[in-house]
Amino acid sequence: GNQYWFTAGASATEAKVTVEIFDENGHRVQAQNYNSEDRDAAGFSPQNSGQYFIALTLAHGGPASVCLICSYK
């Protein structure tokens, strides 16, 4: 099936970004997660077609620019 990964990183080294995936009903999707000090990623293979939403949260640190990359396989 199709697999999607969403990877985010922040410009400030002390900033920590988290990535979460939600379905069209607002339920959190079970995903594979990758965490490091300066990056976070979530990947999943959807069981159903539909809209999915990506939530980026600045878990700690001050204001920072964020980059989000979507990978598809």
21-49 confidence digits (pLDDT tens): 999 999 999 999 999 888 999 999 998 89
Tokens coding 13: 């080294």
Distance of CA 32 to the CA centre of its chain: 10
Mean pLDDT of 4-25: 92
pTM over 0.85: yes
- 54-67 tens-digit pLDDT: 999 988 888 889 99
> DSSP 3-state assignment of 46?
coil
